[in-house]
Amino acid sequence: MYFIFEPRGNMKKQIQNIAVMTSGGDAPGMNAAIRAVIRTAVYYKLDPYGIYRGYEGLIEGDIERFTARKVSNIINRGGTILKTARSQEFRTVEGRKKAYDQLIKNNIDALIVIGGDGSFTGAKIFAEEFDFPVIGIPGTIDNDIFGTDFTIGFDTASNTATEAIDKIRDTASSHNRLFFIEVMGRNAGFLALYSGIAGGAEEILIPEENIGIDKLVESLRRSKRAGKTSSIVVVAEGDQTGKNVFELAKYVENNLKEYESRVVIVGHIQRGGCPTTFDRVLASRLGVKAVEALLDGQRNIMVGLKNNSVQYTPLNDAIQFTRTINKEMLNISEILTT
């Protein structure tokens, strides 16, 4: 029996039924987090529920009672068995009221949301509006959430991107070509930076930094003169060149005749596949702690990993503050591309 949160009226309410959902973009490791939440709930003799299709499914009452066995054999699977969705209706007060009514109808006492920035924004607004306990678990391949060193899915996605770069390098070096490899990241360059460093890219273009297109051409020219026969430029979707990756490749080719250039867009394969050991362990740790946080009386917080320990961050901070790229990483990339 756990008595922890005090809803309006100061009557202590017991947390018994908890629901978990995945929301926003899918990320490898979300299933491991769902499994951890469900099994931790069972371990503490709580009754766990799964909500399908994020806030959309919540509004429609797509809610199911889960057991420990129902999450067997999913720790190794990418995607999310609960499905995920983006819900316009949840952005409205009326939509959120419907969601609240569904939770009350199903006797749910607390909600655990696995997702990114947008999902947490919705969760925070909802929690404040209806005084409902919510815990966030960061699940997004972008790694762009304040309050955690890593988000679930980032490690798997960056390994996929690195693997793609490795394969392309074989062709690049055989043909003396210049390859532009676009990886995901409209607003954050973590995937580009990590996979670029790991794949030995000559240049890495990220949204957080503007190196300037002519400086890029100059740097590639210098590399060529220094004896490099092929080059790889990793480009985040949201880089600051102001050109899409095809236009960028053309521009560089026109200004650097020594190279023949090619473009590869790694695309959605970055989202899929078996989660890495790191992502599975991270998801397991955060899933367990999310349930324990509720039992500790925590609400409206996100559980995250900081300096290898699981810590709480208010949802408000997780949304409000931007996770910045580590300067040391930028420096490493600069030194190693010499």
State the Cα–Cα distance between residues 104 and 312, nearest whole angstrom: 26
Q: Are 270 and 156 in contact (CB under 8 A)?
A: no
Pairing of strands 3-5, 13-14: antiparallel
> 277: which 2 tokens?
């050991």
The residues that touch ligand ATP, with contacts defined as CB under 6 A, are: 23-25, 55, 86-87, 90-91, 115-119, 121-122, 125, 140, 142
Q: Which residue lies nearer to ligand ATP by CB, 119 or 219? A: 119
Three-class DSSP category at 223: helix
Least Å distance, CB 133 to ligand ATP, is 17
Known active-site residue 142: yes
Q: How far apart are the first and last CA of the chain?
A: 61
Least Å distance, CB 44 to ligand ATP, is 27
Q: Which residue lies nearer to ligand ATP by CB, 206 or 252? A: 206
The one catalytic residue among 26, 117, 142, 155:
142
Q: Which residue lies nearer to ligand ATP by CB, 233 or 301? A: 301
Three-class DSSP category at 39: helix
Strands annotated E in 31-159: 47-51, 63-65, 110-115, 134-138
Nearest residue relative to ligand ATP (C-beta): 118
> 305: which 2 tokens?
């990993």
Q: Which residue lies nearer to ligand ATP by CB, 58 or 263? A: 58
Active-site residue numbers?
A: 142
